[in-house]
Structure 1
Amino acid sequence: MITIRNLRKTYQMGKVEVRALDGISLSVKQGEYVAITGASGSGKSTLMHILGLLDVPDDGTFEIDGTDVTKFSENELAAFRNRVMGFVFQQFNLLKRTSALENAALPLIYARNGRRQDVAREKLELVGLGNRMSHHTNELSGGQQQRVAIARALVNHPSIIFADEPTGNLDSKSAKEIMQVMSELHAQGLTIILVTHDSDVANHAQRIIEIRDGKILSDTPNPDAPKVPENVPSKNSSKVRKTSVFQSLREGEVLLRQSLRSLLSNKVRTALSALGIMIGVAAVIAVVALATGAKKSIEDQLSQLGTNLLMLMPERRMSGGVRQASGSVSRLEEEDTKAIREQVPHVSYASSTVSGNAQLKAGNKNWNCRVEGVDPEYEIMRSNQPQLGRFFTEAEMRNRSRVCVLGLTPVKELFGGANPVGQQVKINRQTFTVIGVLPEKGSSGFRDYDDTAIIPSTTAMRRLFGKTYVDRIEIQVDESDNLEQAQKDILALMAHRHRTGTRENPFDIRDMTEIQETVSSTGDVLSILLSGIASIALVVGGIGIMNIMLVSVTERTREIGLRKALGARGQDIMMQFLIEALIISFFGGFLGVLLGVAASLITEKTSGLEVLITQNSIILAFVFSAVIGIVFGIWPARKAARLNPIEALRYE
């Protein structure tokens, strides 16, 4: 069954070269019970590790059933260890905080043959632990723990059992019980290779091989041992099997449960690892919500100004390096508004606008606000249909009537929010009749768009501000496609009316649509910038995960070695640690979403700022946290996957 020829293994201990095996040759038949003995440092454990495919020789040949296993890949070696071999260690190597049943079933995870825990129950009953299956390892005696290890070695029906000092940590009574179990297993036809320095233990074997200084000193049969059984158990296939979708899902479920168990065993550490991700996700969601809300608020306010709007105003000129006031060269007149309305194609509406601040008084209450003198078209252009009362008419504008439409802020300050329509209000000591209340426009930054009073432009010019010109002309074009041509036509008309050259046109025209687009794009850039800054917290959280996972790999080095000895492939180990990193990331991401939403809502309530939490920002935060988990979990996972099984098992 096993044949080795001229096997050599050398270790480098600092500058000293230690030859653990020096040209060993032997063969083991199927169904044999072999004891390998020798003093400490003789090379017996090294030989067993190589025979058990936990280590590789430097030189020589090693065949199992005629197959040269020295040419096997890592996955093929793992499959061989899982399906052909079972291991019993001196240190038991049971997983902590895990039941006897779960420990015994551990090799089934990596077998990929559909076997379930029923097999583990059967083997535990076989070794006399049928009533202790649910007990954790710290609730079992040394002898019982070793029985669990034997049951674990048997669950995949191996052909060979490797036992490394199986009684080394047991009292004499427990040692006898374990050796009795070994003899019973051999009687069932199993091949057993046992390493021991105890002659009483070795006498249970059919054949005793003594090793000294890396060489076989003697290889003698034991006449007192039972004969080799004629019926031997069937061999398991050692080929790497392809798994079905169902088995893959089941393996994933098992890995998920094991990852959760591992994380829950260190709750404080897991919580601290998730804290960085939680803060990062919360920061991203809160910042994006604030930026998106601010952008939407500005866009809503700009949209309330109207669509396809142009604003014509006198251009500010430079004189002696000093920028002069608007209109210092040419001024706009009421007739310009009329000419634009009548002569420029595609113009739907045009309104003269005269602006200034004024003192409003109603009864014993005073309020200073912005007063806008406009034409009746302003109501349609700016979507300013009064929510109470009406807008002024053409006749009232021609007659310079002292009527006004108030915004919500002066209504609140002067009338306490009551209906002011029909009431009298003084504007700069002139009495006006309130005929309407404007719709709510909101605020942006420190500007309150509801803090305004609107009166006829003629009244503002002749009665209130004493102006003979208008500050600007607002124009609405029928279609957005006609905005560019309308601008050219308006500037050409102004150049003709004011007798100025087109190259030195003293008027400036602004496209409100372009301003809206600029504000929107600026909001997007600001949102991305703030999100990037907030994402730094996510990266810091990812570094925290990587640090914790590296510590976890170091602490669980023996566990990793055990899993590899039982048949875990490198990708199995890597996947387990990646799943743990992802669980931490998703847990932190979930808490971060809750915290971010709560922080956003609290900010909205306390500051009055508009906050907009979008589904995309939540999804983005989750995806980003998952990416962080993978990116920063991949290095610890790869480190764990690359550990040598025998070096990991020896780790202290």
Structure 2
Amino acid sequence: MLIENMSMAIHAIKSNKMRSFLTMLGIIIGIGSVIAIVSVGDSMRNVFKDAYKDVGVNRAIILVSWEVEDFRYSDYFDRDELDRVKEVFRDKIEYIDTNSSADAEAVNRLKKVKFDFQGVDYNFTDVQPQNIIYGRFINEADVKKAANHVVLEDKGAVKLFGTADCVGRTFRMTVDKDTQEYTVVGVYHKDLSPMAAMLLGNGQNQAGFIPDTVVSKKGGRFRVLNVYVRDGVNMKEFQPMITRYVAKIKGRKESEIMVNTVKDEMGSMDTTLSAMSAAVGGIAAISLLVGGIGIMNIMMVSVTERTREIGIRKALGARTKDIMIQFLTESALMSACGGIIGIILGVAIVMIGGAVLKTAVIVRPSVVVLAVGFSGMVGIFFGLYPASKAAKADPIEALRYE
């Protein structure tokens, strides 16, 4: 019986190809939009996840809140306090630095290139490995001596020297109103997709690393402690511990100490993107309702056109439920076909976009299965009334219909 109904449904759809396609168009657009939007949302979440990996998912920023009414100079950290934190939490902290940076213009003869230098300690690569292609990274001697040594990203090196292989070459730069010669000790390469680069907001400046002792001079103070905890350390347990200790050495209340973690930011961003994806996907799903109404409308027309056929089938012994199942099968098949085409269209759009932006895309199989099932349910739901009308038709009146 099912095969017979499927055969009749396919025949009916083929008999009116253009009308059937236009009817399915609402479902195609709706399903395609939902698949594309959900996939884009998932892909964006994955891009942000990768971007946060570059920042460090086990990272925390510790500082005395700006919101305290009596903020004082001693609320800034000094090197001794950094070393004390490092020693007290040596079993939990993998890496710590001053989170210092320098936005400066590098000058090599007539060439001038703006750089954003990140101040780091010698073991920074333990928590954030770098792809060094020439030379070396900042070492312990560079940090202890506050040596004017830098590691440049290859793109910046090419702009400044015309080549990435520039280890040993020097340039002038002003850091904290102090103009000196700096020497390139290493060059690294970083692969970023266009999407990731856009999200990270690299801007016009080039990137590089410099000893943090050069940026935050030996006797100077700094605003925050930049901490990477060891693998396996529970960040939720670590936060109150470091908060209590910093509050103690600063003579502050625990509520006045801020500990911002990358995991918290990731969670907030993931929640925001999920909510946005769901909201936009919900709006796109409204077109499914429009598509369902279109199916109902065309099925009503089909019932009217085939009134005589209904009468003949009933006269030959077809039961009410047989007629109803026949038209429900047709509406469900039409909707499911539209859903399948919509899925192919949505996935194609996402894949093409990912290829253009050189970004990995995520298409969840569960969403695809749900979309097909939902499109079929739309067909059944909106086909119920036309099918019921066809099933209840009086065979005598149906046979008289011209």
Post-superposition offset of 1:387: 4.9
Question: Against the structure 1 CA distance between its residues 252 and 646, is the aligned structure 2 distance closer, same or farther, given a 3 Å change threshold?
Answer: same
Which amino acid in structure 1 is aligned with residue 82 of structure 2?
T
Q: Distance in 1 between matches of 2:235 and 2:249?
A: 21
Q: 2:276 aligns with which of 526, 536, 548?
A: 526
Aligned amino acid, residue 358 of structure 1: A
Question: Cα distance, 1:493 vs. partner?
Answer: 2.6
2:135 counterpart of 1:389:
yes
* SS across alignment from 2:119: strand
| Greater fraction helix | 2
CA distance in 1, matches of 2:180, 2:297: 74
Answering whether residue 11 of structure 2 is matched by residue 261 of structure 1, we say yes
Choose from 493, 496, 504 the match for 2:245.
493
Contact 1:306 1:383 in 2 (8 A): no
Which residue among 71, 75, 96 is the counterpart of 1:330?
A: 75
**Alpha-carbon spacing, 1:440–1:560, altered in 2? closer, same or farther (3 Å):** same
Contact 2:123 / 2:139 at 8 angstroms: preserved in 1? Answer: no
- 3-state DSSP of counterpart to 2:100: strand
Change (3 A) 1:642 1:445: same
Instruction: Tell me which of 309, 331, 336 is aligned to 1:559.
Output: 309
Q: 2:209 aligns with which of 447, 454, 478?
A: 454
Gap regions ≥5 residues in structure 1: 1-250
| Alignment map for 1:347-362 (pairs within 5 Å) | 347-362=93-108
Structure 1 consecutive aligned stretches of length 4 or more whose deviation exceeds 4 Å: 326-329, 605-610
Rounded to whole Å, the distance in 1 between the matches of 2:181 and 2:232 is: 41
Alignment of 1:4-83 (within 5 A): none
Aligned positions of 1:436-475 closer than 5 A? 436-440=187-191, 442-445=196-199, 447-448=201-202, 451-462=206-217, 468-475=220-227
- One-letter identity of the residue aligned with 1:339: R
Correspondence 1:398 to 2:164: no
Structure 1's 304 and 565: CA in aligned 2 closer, same or farther, altered over 3 A?
same
* 1:407 lines up with 2:153 in the alignment: yes
Say which of 293, 300, 322 aligns to 2:50. Answer: 300
Deviations 1:568-627 (A, max 9, x none): 112211121122112212221222223222322343355566643333332232222112
8 A contact 2:27–2:292 mirrored in 1: yes
Rounded Cα–Cα distance in structure 2 between residues aligned with 1:595 and 1:540: 18
Alpha-carbon distance in structure 1 between the residues aligned to 2:37 and 2:160:
38
Match of 2:23 among 273, 276, 289: 273
After superposition, what is the alpha-carbon deviation per residue over 1:317-371, rounded to whole angstroms, capped at 9, x for unaligned? 265xxxx9x9867212222221111012522322222124222344544332322
2: distance between equivalents of 1:571 and 1:417?
Answer: 79
Distance verdict in 2 for CA 1:583–1:367, change over 3 Å: farther
Between the two structures, name the one with larger relative contact order (CA 8 Å, sep ≥ 6).
2
Q: Tell me, yes or no, if the aligned pair for 2:154 and 2:187 is still in contact at 8 Å.
A: no
Instruction: Give ranges in structure 2 of 5+ residues lacking alignment.
Output: none
1:241-277 per-residue CA deviation (whole Å, 9 max, x = no partner) reads xxxxxxxxxx222221111111111111101011111
* Separation in structure 2 between the aligned mates of residue 574 and residue 610 of structure 1, nearest angstrom: 46
In the alignment, the residues of structure 2 paired with residue 568 and residue 621 of structure 1 have an alpha-carbon distance, to the nearest angstrom, of 33
CA distance in 1, matches of 2:318, 2:273: 52
What letter is aligned with 2:137?
A: F
Contact 1:408-1:440 within 8 A present in 2 as well: no
Q: CA deviation at 1:411?
A: 3.9
Query: Which structure: larger Rg?
Result: 1
- Match of 2:150, SS state, is strand
Q: Which amino acid aligns with 1:347?
A: I
Residue pairs, 1:63-142, within 5 angstroms: none
Q: Normalising to structure 2: TM-score of the pair?
A: 0.87
Kept in 2, the 8 Å contact 1:314–1:327? The answer is no
For 1:379 and 1:432, locate their aligned partners in 2 and report how far apart those are by CA, in whole Å: 21
Q: Contact between 1:386 and 1:439, CA under 8 Å: does it hold in 2?
A: no
How many residue pairs were aligned?
A: 392
Residues 276, 541 of structure 1: 8 Å contact kept: yes
Deviations 1:452-503 (A, max 9, x none): 211000111239xxx82223222122355532343233233323323x1325
Q: Root-mean-square deviation (CA), in Å?
A: 2.8
Q: Structure 1 residues 514, 503: CA separation in 2 closer, same or farther (over 3 Å shift)? A: closer
Tell whether 2:395 aligns with 1:641.
Answer: no
- Supply the distance in 1 between the matched residues of 2:167 and 2:338 (Cα, whole angstroms): 56
Q: What is the aligned-residue identity percentage?
A: 31
